[in-house]
């Protein structure tokens, strides 16, 4: 299960993190630094989640018991239309049954073109006979360890962006274009050290970012190979080992260190 952030992103954050005693990740729906096991644990770690289903899943993992794990293993995890139809009928909103429904439908379901997001998925015949028990489904004890001491917050992620202080390290990895735009508008006013990253469409975008930022915001970039060779634009407001980007001639000057 892919709750962790991209490995290259995680290593870059770890190698370039400022001193901190608290971590706040407002945008945990897309993956969390908490699952990057090479990280240095903070005294406090806050993870913002906007999706109610994901919040229920992570809460279940945090409190996972031996009975919960045994219950999960007792379910039918082989892809079949008959089992798929039965799983669709599960009404639980938390616990092992909800966890089972969530991942079974995600693994074996598919949405037809033109269907609304609220419509029920259909069984994916291409995955018939696949056994999820042979995957990493039951690496849950390790995930429980990763979430130890993490405070899950359900609600508005943007509210958490402003919840820091000098001892708080903000990891800002917004997902949607709307979130990216909203965060970019607040960077210059943040007092907490922050690591902001987003996919960059082109070198022109990076040069424009360098030219538009002044003061203590430094623009860098790195290639994240597992995100389809995407170039990630990074902005920070603290001293780190990331290379300072130089803009193309005529497109402004780099922000000072």
41 and 161 fall within a common domain: yes
Nearest to 247 by CA among 229, 221, 228: 221
Asked whether residue 250 is domain-assigned, the answer is no
Distance (Å, rounded) from C-alpha 13 to C-alpha 244?
16
Mean pLDDT by 10-residue block, N- to C-terminus, for the chain (257 residues)?
A: 80 91 95 88 95 95 94 94 96 96 93 71 93 80 92 94 90 93 91 90 60 66 62 86 62 39
Verify that 77 and 133 share a domain, yes or no. Answer: yes
Does residue 252 sit within a domain? no
CA 196 remoteness from chain centre: 13
Regarding whether 115 and 46 lie in a shared domain, the answer is no
CA-wise closest residue to 172 among 188, 150, 153, 187 = 187
**What confidence score (pLDDT) does residue 201 get?**
62
**How many whole angstroms separate alpha carbon 36 and alpha carbon 19?**
18
What pLDDT, on the 0 to 100 scale, is given for residue 99?
95
So what's the pLDDT on residue 154?
Answer: 97
Question: What is the model's pLDDT at position 124?
Answer: 94
Residues 28 and 97 reside in one and the same domain: no
Same domain, 40 and 160: yes
CATH of residue 191: 3.40.50.150
Q: Is residue 246 part of a domain?
A: no
pLDDT at residue 8, as a whole number: 85
- Number of domains observed in the structure of the chain: 2
Domain assignment present for residue 208? The answer is: yes
Do 45 and 62 fall within a single domain?
no
Q: Which residues of 108-130 are buried (b: 16+ CB within 10 A; e: fewer)?
A: bbeeeeeeeeeeeeebbeebeee
Q: Supply the DSSP symbol for 78.
A: B
Whether 168 maps to a domain, the answer reads yes
Residue ending a domain, among 92, 117, 144, is 144
User: Tokens for 134?
Assistant: 């042979």
Question: What is the domain range of residue 194?
Answer: 7-50+155-236
Last residue of one domain, picked from the residues 116, 144, 172: 144
Same domain, 119 and 176: no
Residue 139 has a pLDDT of: 82
């Amino acid at each position: 299960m892919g709750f962790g952030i991209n490995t290259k992103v995680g290593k870059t954050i770890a190698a370039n993190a400022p001193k901190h005693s608290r971590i706040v990740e407002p945008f945990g729906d897309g993956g969390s630094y908490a699952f990057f096991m090479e990280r240095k644990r903070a005294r406090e770690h806050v993870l913002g989640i906007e999706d109610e289903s994901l919040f229920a899943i992570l809460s279940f993992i945090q409190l996972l018991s031996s009975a919960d794990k045994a219950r999960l293993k007792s379910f039918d995890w082989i892809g079949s239309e008959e089992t798929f139809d039965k799983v669709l009928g599960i009404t639980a909103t938390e616990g092992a049954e909800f966890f089972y429904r969530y991942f079974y439908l995600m693994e074996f379901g598919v949405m037809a073109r033109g269907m609304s997001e609220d419509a029920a998925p259909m069984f994916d015949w291409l995955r018939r006979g696949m056994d999820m028990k042979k995957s990493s489904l039951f690496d849950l004890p390790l995930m429980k360890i990763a979430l130890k001491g993490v405070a899950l917050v359900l609600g508005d992620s943007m509210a958490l962006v402003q919840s820091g202080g000098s001892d708080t390290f903000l990891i800002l990895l917004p997902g949607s274009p709307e979130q990216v735009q909203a965060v970019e508008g607040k960077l210059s006013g943040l007092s907490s050290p922050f690591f902001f990253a987003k996919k960059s469409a082109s070198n022109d975008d990076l040069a424009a970012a360098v030219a538009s930022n002044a003061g203590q915001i430094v623009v860098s970039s790195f290639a994240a190979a597992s995100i389809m060779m995407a170039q990630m634009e990074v902005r920070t407001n603290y001293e780190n080992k990331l290379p300072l980007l130089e803009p193309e001639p005529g497109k402004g000057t780099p922000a000072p260190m």
